[in-house]
Amino acid sequence: MREYLITLLISAALCYLITPIVRSQAIRFGAVAAIRDRDIHSVPTARWGGVAMWASMALTFAIVNHLPLVGKSFGHETQGIFLASTAIVLLGMADDRFQLDALTKLAGQVFVAGILLIYGIQILWLPINGVITLPPSIGQLLTVLIVVVVINAVNFIDGMDGLAAGIVAISGIAFFAFAYLLAVDYGFSRAGAPSLTTAVLVGICLGFLPHNINPAKIFMGDSGSMLLGLLLSAAAITLTGQVDPNAISAESLGPTLLPLLLPFAVLAIPFLDLLLAVGRRLKAGRSPFAPDNQHLHHRLLSAGNSTNKTAVILYLWTATIAFPVTVLAFAPWWVALITVAVLIAMSSLIIGLILLLMSVVLYSISSNRKV
């Protein structure tokens, strides 16, 4: 656990330091987000935050490769994840600079999923009515589908300062806890691609967040949101390969199902937003990839919430779903229920404190104006 914490801190520190450098280069090369009708920001802002994330990940890999435990995680799967990450960042950089069409981006995402397949990262079985070993073609198709859906779910919520980085960081923490506890529970090596990937994922999100909270100095862009989605989906798929399907019993069904279900649980808010957006656009006779300003964060902002308050609300919603689901895999249902109750209480308290603080600030401003 200590080495993974070191890995997280190194990736966070590197991302924090590298991001301003990338920001200056993004401005130099014209990778700047212009202001559109659906956008929340009011000032043109640099993109390519994903480049800083990727560079931080690469340097972190080079440093922690020499640690005794984490160093064992660098195998064939980790190489495939890094190569796929490089490809998705290049695709995102092109989109951030030249605004690629939706079909081109989709083709690029499928290509990146294909890189994972080449390195043996794919769904091999499903715990349905016992265990079903999937034919290679079905497993590959399902793998591509999961990768593309998770990438686009993260991309959909990257529409407000600090939102995607915060939600993915919370999701990554929940997923790392699950991967580590699963290794302890099943007795297999705690050094693996899932734990390493999620530790770095959380680190780069936390390191990037100070530059991305409102008012953002830089956006992660598609290079960042697609990278985060790829890392989360790759971690989930590689985790399924660590579980022996022959050891699955009725009692262990929760832990064995969760590697496939957890990405959808921890990203419940982005997936809900994705489904609502696609349904809304198809109903209106528009392309499901057509942008609009009706996402969940837009609705919360329209209700009178500030940008930071909206982000905190969505962070808390994510945590309220992600952590109880993780707990449910290893503890009785009532423990997960208590976890939900505690998180809801904490969420209510935090939101209440935010409202109180805002009231005090507004009252102070009003008093100063009267004077």
pTM of the model: 0.85
Consecutive H or E run containing 125: strand 125-126
Q: Is the pLDDT of residue 366 over 70?
A: no
Of the candidates 144, 158, 266, 146, which has an alpha carbon nearest to the alpha carbon of residue 212?
Answer: 158
Average pLDDT of the residues in 323-335: 74
Mean pLDDT over residues 305-325, rounded? 83
pLDDT in tens, 117-169: 999 999 887 766 666 778 999 999 999 999 999 999 898 888 888 999 999 99
Average pLDDT of the chain, as a whole number? 82
Confidence (pLDDT) at 151? 94
Categorize the per-residue pLDDT at 246 as very low, low, confident or very high, splitting at 50, 70 and 90: low
Q: How many CA atoms lie within 13 A of 304 on its CB side?
A: 2
Task: Summarize pLDDT for 39-48 with one digit per residue, the tens.
Answer: 555 577 898 9
Predicted local distance difference test score (pLDDT) of residue 313: 84
Task: Write out pLDDT tens, residues 172-221.
Answer: 998 888 888 777 666 665 557 888 999 999 999 999 999 998 888 999 99
Q: How far apart are the first and last CA of the chain?
A: 56
Question: Which pLDDT score is estimated for 307?
Answer: 83
**What are the residues facing 218 on neighbouring strands?**
46
Compute how many other C-beta atoms are within 10 angstroms of the C-beta atom of residue 207.
26
DSSP 9-66: HHHHHHHHHHHHHHHHHHHHTT-EE---TT-S--S-EE--HHHHHHHHHHHHHHHHTT
In this predicted model, what pLDDT tens digit does every residue of 92-106 receive, in sequence order? 999 988 889 989 999
Residue 252 predicted with pLDDT over 60: no
Between 20-29, 204-213, 315-324, 328-337, the lowest mean confidence (pLDDT) is in 328-337
